[in-house]
């Protein structure tokens, strides 16, 4: 078993992730977008570029060694930010890097990085208990769809 090879600190993190996932109401998670009205809002490239500009300014003197984008949407923003800041794009997170995701809806995708790395997301669900280091805005009443997944249809 994988846990046999982990140190005490890593085991604690694995257990915290398991506890978090067990506490999620999977019915709610599967249907989390039902809390938004029928209107969707496409996040444009202009808005994404604006966030990248703002984030680049916020992190310029923080001493990050590189940027790691959480697959899938986080990679897009991490690449743009890498070009803007000249920080390397990392294939895996490492000490003193910034982990980037497109949004924080439930927190499941950033949970493995929480407490180990600084995290930046463009949009944050105000009902999610996890707190990123940086975020652009909280969700409003509309479902946010990024331009790279605009073909996504609500279930």
Stated pTM of the model: 0.74
CATH architecture of the domain 31-149 equals: 3-Layer(aba) Sandwich (3.40)
The whole-angstrom separation of Cα 45 and Cα 16 is: 36
Is residue 5 packed enough to be buried (19+ CB in 10 Å), middle (13-18) or exposed (0-12)? exposed
Confidence of residue 146 (pLDDT cuts 50, 70, 90): confident
The whole-angstrom separation of Cα 101 and Cα 104 is: 7
C-beta atoms surrounding 54 within 10 Å: 13
> Above 50 in pLDDT, residue 28?
no
The whole-angstrom separation of Cα 64 and Cα 87 is: 8
Q: Among 7-16, 93-102, 137-146, where is mean pLDDT lowest?
A: 7-16
Q: What is the DSSP letter of 111?
A: G
The tens digit of pLDDT for each residue in 46-89 reads 998 999 999 999 999 999 999 999 988 899 999 999 999 999 99
Q: Where are the alpha helices (DSSP H) in the chain?
A: 8-23, 26-30, 45-59, 73-85
The tens digit of pLDDT for each residue in 31-51 reads 444 544 566 778 888 998 999
Domain ranges of the chain: 31-149
The whole-angstrom separation of Cα 139 and Cα 106 is: 12
Residue 100: which H helix or E strand, with range? Answer: strand 98-104
Question: How much is the pLDDT for 20?
Answer: 61
> Above 80 in pLDDT, residue 121?
yes
Question: How much is the pLDDT for 4?
Answer: 53
> Above 70 in pLDDT, residue 92?
yes
Q: Among 1-10, 59-68, 97-106, 122-131, where is mean pLDDT lowest?
A: 1-10
Question: How much is the pLDDT for 22?
Answer: 63
> Above 90 in pLDDT, residue 21?
no
């Amino acid at each position: 078993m994988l846990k046999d090879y982990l140190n005490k600190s890593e085991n604690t993190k694995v257990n915290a992730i398991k506890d978090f996932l067990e506490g999620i109401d999977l019915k709610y998670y599967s249907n989390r977008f039902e809390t938004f009205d029928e209107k969707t809002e496409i996040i444009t490239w202009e808005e994404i570029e604006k966030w990248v500009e703002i984030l680049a300014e916020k992190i310029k003197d923080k001493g990050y060694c590189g940027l790691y984008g959480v697959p899938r949407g986080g990679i897009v923003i991490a690449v743009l930010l890498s070009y803007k800041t000249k920080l390397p794009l990392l294939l895996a997170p490492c000490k003193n890097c910034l982990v980037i995701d497109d949004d924080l809806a439930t927190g499941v995708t950033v949970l493995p990085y929480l407490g180990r790395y600084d995290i930046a997301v463009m949009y944050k669900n105000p009902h999610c208990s996890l707190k990123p280091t940086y975020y652009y805005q909280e969700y409003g009443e509309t479902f946010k769809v990024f331009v790279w997944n605009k073909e996504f249809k609500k279930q």
